[in-house]
Structure 1
Amino acid sequence: MWKHLAAAALLVVAADAKTLSPADAWKASLKEDNAAWASAKHAILKINDAAYVHEGETYSLIGEPSKSATWHWKKGKDAKAALTASFSGGKPVLSKDSKPLPAEALGKGIDIAPGVDVTGAVTQMSPGQSGLRIMVFDQENKAAKAFKGVDYFAYDPSYRVTASFKPDPKMTPHVFRTSRGLDKQFFHTGDAVFTLQSKTITLPLYADDKDPAKVTSMTSFFTDQLTGKGAYQAGRYVDVEPFKKFPPASVTIDFNYAYNPNCARSSFYNCPFAVDFIPLAMKAGEKDPHAH
Structure 2
Amino acid sequence: MRSLLPHALLLLSLTCTAAHADPRQDWDGFRAAMIQQASGPTGMYAIQDATVIPAGGAAHLPAAQKPAQTRWAKDAGGKTEVRVSYRGGQALVEGPGLAAVDLLKAKNQQQALPNGLIVRATVYEDSLKAWLYNPALVATRYKGLSFFPYDPKGVIEATFTRKDKPVGLSHLDSRNHTGLMYWIGDVQLPLQGKTYTLRAFNKGQDWNKLDHLLMFVTDKTSKKTSYGGGRVLEAHFPPGQPPKTLALNLNTMYSFLCAHSDYYNCPINLTTFVPVELSYGEKYPPGAK
TM-score clears 0.5: yes
Equivalent pair of 1:116/1:136 in contact (CA under 8 Å): yes
Q: Secondary structure at the match of 1:171?
A: strand
**Partners in 1 of 2:139 and 2:208 — Cα distance?**
39
Q: Does 1:265 align with 2:272?
A: no
Alignment RMSD (CA, Å): 2.8
Unaligned runs of 5+ in 1: 124-128
Q: Does 1:199 align with 2:200?
A: no
Q: 1:219-260: CA deviations, max 9, x gaps?
A: 101222222222212111110144575231111221111111
Question: Is the alpha carbon distance of 1:223 and 1:258 closer, same or farther for their aligned partners in structure 2, counting shifts above 3 Å?
Answer: same
Identical residues among aligned pairs (%):
25
Identify the residue that residue 12 of structure 2 maps to in structure 1. Answer: 5
Aligned to 2:185, which of 160, 181, 190? Answer: 190
Q: Does 1:47 align with 2:47?
A: yes
**Partners in 2 of 1:197 and 1:89 — Cα distance?**
53
TM-score by structure 2 length? 0.84
Q: Does 1:284 align with 2:280?
A: yes
Equivalent pair of 2:23/2:249 in contact (CA under 8 Å): no
**Partners in 2 of 1:107 and 1:263 — Cα distance?**
26
Give, in angstroms, the shift of residue 104 of structure 1. 3.9
Higher relative contact order (CA 8 A, sep 6+): 2
**Partners in 1 of 2:226 and 2:37 — Cα distance?**
20
Amino acid at match of 1:52: V
Identify the residue that residue 217 of structure 1 maps to in structure 2. Answer: 212
Q: Secondary structure at the match of 1:237?
A: strand
Q: Secondary structure at the match of 1:133?
A: strand
Q: Secondary structure at the match of 2:251?
A: helix
Unaligned runs of 5+ in 2: 1-7
Q: Does 1:25 align with 2:26?
A: yes
**Partners in 1 of 2:11 and 2:240 — Cα distance?**
24
**Partners in 2 of 1:291 and 1:257 — Cα distance?**
20
Equivalent pair of 2:98/2:113 in contact (CA under 8 Å): no
Equivalent pair of 1:230/1:291 in contact (CA under 8 Å): no
Identify the residue that residue 126 of structure 1 maps to in structure 2. Answer: none
Which aligned segments of 4 or more residues in structure 1 are displaced greater than 6 angstroms?
Answer: none
Identify the residue that residue 234 of structure 2 maps to in structure 1. Answer: 239
**Partners in 1 of 2:10 and 2:74 — Cα distance?**
29
Amino acid at match of 1:288: Y
Identify the residue that residue 76 of structure 1 maps to in structure 2. Answer: 75
**Partners in 2 of 1:29 and 1:79 — Cα distance?**
43
Amino acid at match of 1:277: F
- Work out the number of aligned pairs and report it: 278
Amino acid at match of 1:179: S
Equivalent pair of 1:122/1:132 in contact (CA under 8 Å): yes
Amino acid at match of 2:121: G
Q: 1:69-120: CA deviations, max 9, x gaps?
A: 1221012343375222233455535442499834246743223224222111
Question: Is the alpha carbon distance of 1:281 and 1:243 closer, same or farther for their aligned partners in structure 2, counting shifts above 3 Å?
Answer: farther
Equivalent pair of 2:207/2:239 in contact (CA under 8 Å): no
Give, in angstroms, the shift of residue 32 of structure 1. 2.3
Identify the residue that residue 103 of structure 1 maps to in structure 2. Answer: 102
Aligned to 1:171, which of 166, 170, 178? Answer: 166
**Partners in 2 of 1:255 and 1:210 — Cα distance?**
25
Equivalent pair of 2:37/2:44 in contact (CA under 8 Å): yes
